[in-house]
Structure 1
Amino acid sequence: MIGGDSVEAIERRLLAKYPEGSPSAEIIEMARIEAEDLFEIKAQIIQRMALYDPTGDWMARGARALDNPRTTSGEESLERLYDIWKDLQETGPLSDEFSRLQEKVFLKKGGPGGDPIA
């Protein structure tokens, strides 16, 4: 688990569009493969963002910054995630993606401007 997400959670979201018990074994396997791919690139993005933005709670809740509520599964496409990763690699903290993601993530508890320590 990284950033509050896991392969299993992504797979569940990908399969949620199918009525209970209806996806075939092939669909389940394809969802598993897609979930692994999505998780891998999300993990890379989250780790990079944690490096660039230490005030953000990337390792615990950073995956939520990568959600796309406009899709059925709530997941960004793999292609879009690779574009985000490429932008972060090439431009770093000066990239538009860095700023966009930074606005979406919770700050660490007790950090400057962050959630109070509970």
Structure 2
Amino acid sequence: MPRFFGDIEYEDLEDPNRRKICWKIITNTVNKLKIKINNSQAKRRRRNNKIYSLESLTSDLRKKNWISESAEMNLNSSMTESAKQLFSLLLRKRKRKFSPQLRQFALTLNFYSKKAYN
């Protein structure tokens, strides 16, 4: 009596009861493989659509007609280098290594914001 797809032999298909069992095994295996294929395609699609930089974000927003062309140019030109660096670090979501200037800015902001609320 076969339990897996690879265990099915020609003799199993001659008996109607065994043929029915084999058919269930085959359809179950095919359905599991379809789910795996769909999951891997969705993973690939999400990876390809991921935004990695400010320029890719603004171009994506422009393609969807959520911002105008002039707004896209303004966003790209008005960001300072440190803001672009911070933006790219926030998009990565993995091991973030902040530059010394960015660390100093965060410490200064933390120091002044505590005094502002007292």
Name the TM-score, length of structure 1 as normaliser.
Answer: 0.28
Query: Whose helix proportion is higher, 1 or 2?
Result: 2
User: Greater CA radius of gyration, 1 or 2?
Assistant: 2
Which structure is higher in RCO with an 8 Å CA cutoff and minimum separation 6? 1
